[in-house]
Amino acid sequence: MANCRRDFHHKTAEALVERYEVIVMEDLKVANMVRRARPLLDPDIPGGFLANGAAAKAGLNTSISDASWAQFRSILAAKALQAGRQMIGVDSRHSADRCEACGHAARENRVTQAVFRCVRCGHDAHADEHARNTLRAGLALLAADQAA
């Protein structure tokens, strides 16, 4: 399975590097994302613990690890460097909950995993379309880098 995953990562990275001059990605801290949930002490029961979503977090951790996000990023970075392409890492804070129309960032903007609706201006879109925020931030970093 690991070989299949690595092969997929190499093929996908090659396709992206062939197609794009500049590749922008969220600079995710994968190691932090797969840490286990902290236990929450129950103030009412000495030695007891509150529900902390550990089972759900464990499932997410497994999914992230199975997909090997960090491995894909390193393969993509190596292939981009080898092909002379630029790869830009963008801070991931508020990338999913910042409105691309007015710039307002709030958790409430993400109605569901798939639906984005700005509580300030009412902008409505599929949440995946907000990857443009990441692209926009990466291009701004590129422009600032070239201006310096």
The alpha carbon of residue 103 and the mean position of all alpha carbons in its chain are separated, in whole angstroms, by: 18
Using one digit for the tens of pLDDT, what is the confidence trace for 120-147?
999 988 877 777 888 888 999 999 988 8
- Residue carrying structure tokens 């993400």: 110
> How far, in Å, CA of 58 to CA of 68, rounded?
15
- Domain spans, the chain: 1-87, 93-148
The confidence score (pLDDT) of residue 33 equals 64
| Residues with Cβ within 8 Å of residue 73, at least 6 apart in sequence | 25, 28, 30
Average pLDDT over residues 111-127: 88
Using one digit for the tens of pLDDT, what is the confidence trace for 55-93?
776 776 777 666 688 899 999 999 999 999 999 999 888
Average predicted confidence (pLDDT) for the chain: 86
Using one digit for the tens of pLDDT, what is the confidence trace for 10-30?
999 999 999 999 999 988 776
pTM for the full model? 0.71
> How far, in Å, CA of 102 to CA of 120, rounded?
8
